Chains A and B, each alone.
Chain A
């Protein structure tokens, strides 16, 4: 039996866990991958808690989008089941030690049916690339709207947290709730501006 996610979650936080779980982990063929996946899961959970604390309505919107993405994956089936790790987040944070110079720009490769929460420095400008990207939607506390694949996004501290949802179908004539109900691939990136 593989080691349970909630047990790994306690372990990566340095909590006191019985030695038998360490023996179990050590015996897993892909122990390192399990471990790093658990670290990323906890990072995402902590960021979600932060999001809930800062902007509960945004967090609630994200939760609905997540659910719909899952449900769609279950019923439609053509959407790949999300893996243990979140590649979108890896591609975002793949630049070494996290020293991001201000006013830098970053190109994000969209991985369909992935979701992640990232903390990014204000001033960073993001552009998005994917052959099949048709439109994307932003939602923040004060404002929401649709953007095109060519548009970029600048992280602004005053905006607070923002949810970006990317679609591979042209659904921008719909409201976001209806757009989420369509049978389209989507990816969700939530940004919390770093203080």
Chain B
């Protein structure tokens, strides 16, 4: 798609780009509008056939800030949420912070604000997770936490027994456990705990597990350099350190945190990180203790 990337973002350059590629642009907008069709699209842009013209007009406003675009090639025309926000001045689109000031994640980190309700806190972590991991993993997290959701939404107590149906294949089970483990790393701010923070492998762990890849298994970021055995081993040791950390926090979890932990307390979690037999045994000892701890609220 390299040849279909505007290289000149001045008004004149954009006009030229539209002139040269109008047919292609219209096809892309039509297809996106049909795929993402809902009330909002027609409320903002009018009838379906008016959408391409309306989006192209937005692209050609003199003050368009190319640094704010979600992508810089011709695929930008398929980003309807962006154009809806652009057209309405941010009143009805979703992305961006111009109209929806939300607390900065960094500000929330490290603070224990009891005034934040559990759903808000979970939503904050989810948002943060989604900015760092592949989209499929967020889906696996949502799948693994269906039961919790009911609990958190209804504030309805249920025993912490893990009754998630495991109809899916083994691989899916592993990715769910992995997704939940990564969620909890952010949610419990494990990276801020001094012994964890100062661990030599933390940076490698975070760059492998908290950077978006191409949204396909194993859902880790693969750098240019192939990972050495040494690095692999260090990361694995670091993950074991995290499991120990969770174990040491066993008495401190509140009911919601415990529910959020449950989908990670599985043998599948140890499979996904390819621990050897000794580490598996140790890991499972820690995880199963966490799992069997019935908490009193």
Contact residues of A with B, CB < 8 Å? 4-7, 9-23, 25-27, 31-32, 35-36, 39, 41, 44-46, 48-50, 52-53, 56, 59-60, 63, 66, 70, 96-98
Residue from A18, A48, A97 with most neighbouring chain B CB atoms (10 Å): A18
Closest 5 CB pairs of A and B: A18-B100, A22-B123, A32-B143, A7-B94, A10-B81
Decide if B37 is an interface residue (CB 8 Å cutoff): yes
Inter-chain contact A56/B24, CB cutoff 8 Å: yes
Contact residues of B with A, CB < 8 Å? 1, 3-4, 23-24, 27-28, 30-32, 34-41, 70, 74-75, 78-82, 84, 93-97, 100, 102-103, 119-120, 122-124, 126-127, 130-131, 135-136, 138-140, 142-143, 146, 149, 152-153, 171, 212, 215-217
Q: How far is the CA of A39 from the CA of B216 in the complex (A)?
A: 12
Inter-chain contact A11/B34, CB cutoff 8 Å: no
User: Residues of B contacting A26 with CB < 8 Å?
Assistant: 119, 122-123, 126, 142, 149, 152-153
Q: Within the complex, what minimum Cβ distance (angstroms) separates A30 from chain B?
A: 9
The residue from B28, B38, B127, B142 contacting A48, defined by CB atoms under 8 A apart = B28
Question: Do A59 and B149 contact each other (CB < 8 Å), given the known contacts A13-B70, A21-B94, A26-B122?
Answer: no
Inter-chain contact B70/A63, CB cutoff 8 Å: no
Question: Do A5 and B27 contact each other (CB < 8 Å), given the known contacts A10-B94, A11-B130, A16-B131?
Answer: no
User: Residues of A contacting B152 with CB < 8 Å?
Assistant: 26
Q: How far is the CA of A58 from the CA of B7 in the complex (A)?
A: 26
The residue from A17, A27, A70 contacting B94, defined by CB atoms under 8 A apart = A17
Q: How far is the CA of A12 from the CA of B149 in the complex (A)?
A: 20
Inter-chain contact B127/A22, CB cutoff 8 Å: yes
- Would you list 23 pairs from A and B whose C-beta atoms are within 8 A, ordered by A residue? A4-B38, A6-B41, A10-B82, A10-B95, A11-B94, A12-B138, A13-B135, A17-B95, A18-B94, A18-B102, A23-B119, A25-B126, A26-B153, A39-B139, A41-B35, A45-B31, A45-B78, A48-B78, A50-B1, A52-B28, A59-B24, A63-B27, A96-B171
The residue from B75, B126, B135 contacting A22, defined by CB atoms under 8 A apart = B126
Q: What is the count of residue pairs linking A and B with beta-carbon distances less than 8 angstroms?
A: 152
User: Residues of A contacting B136 with CB < 8 Å?
Assistant: 36, 39
Q: Within the complex, what minimum Cβ distance (angstroms) separates A128 from chain B?
A: 25
Q: Is the interface of B mostly helix, strand, loop or mixed?
A: helix
Inter-chain contact B119/A16, CB cutoff 8 Å: no
User: Residues of B contacting A12 with CB < 8 Å?
Assistant: 135, 138
Q: A32-B143, A63-B31 are in contact. List 9 more A-B contacts (CB 8 A).
A: A13-B70, A16-B131, A26-B123, A26-B153, A32-B140, A39-B139, A44-B35, A46-B78, A53-B24
Q: How far is the CA of A40 from the CA of B96 in the complex (A)?
A: 23
User: Residues of A contacting B103 with CB < 8 Å?
Assistant: 19
Question: Do A66 and B36 contact each other (CB < 8 Å), given the known contacts A14-B212, A18-B102, A20-B100?
Answer: no
Inter-chain contact A5/B94, CB cutoff 8 Å: no
Q: Within the complex, what minimum Cβ distance (angstroms) separates B50 from chain A?
A: 16
Q: Within the complex, what minimum Cβ distance (angstroms) separates B116 from chain A?
A: 11
In chain B, what residue has the closest Cβ to A48? Answer: B31
Inter-chain contact A6/B212, CB cutoff 8 Å: no
Q: How far is the CA of A56 from the CA of B74 in the complex (A)?
A: 13
In chain B, what residue has the closest Cβ to A67? Answer: B34
Inter-chain contact A23/B120, CB cutoff 8 Å: yes
User: Residues of A contacting B34 with CB < 8 Å?
Assistant: 66, 70
The residue from A4, A23, A46, A52 contacting B27, defined by CB atoms under 8 A apart = A52
Q: Within the complex, what minimum Cβ distance (angstroms) separates B149 from chain A?
A: 6
The residue from A5, A18, A50 contacting B37, defined by CB atoms under 8 A apart = A5
Q: How far is the CA of A147 from the CA of B100 in the complex (A)?
A: 55
Inter-chain contact B119/A14, CB cutoff 8 Å: no
Q: Within the complex, what minimum Cβ distance (angstroms) separates A99 from chain B?
A: 10
Q: How far is the CA of A41 from the CA of B215 in the complex (A)?
A: 14
Q: Within the complex, what minimum Cβ distance (angstroms) separates A52 from chain B?
A: 5
Question: Do A6 and B36 contact each other (CB < 8 Å), given the known contacts A45-B78, A48-B31, A53-B74?
Answer: yes
Q: How far is the CA of A27 from the CA of B151 in the complex (A)?
A: 11
In chain B, what residue has the closest Cβ to A45? Answer: B78
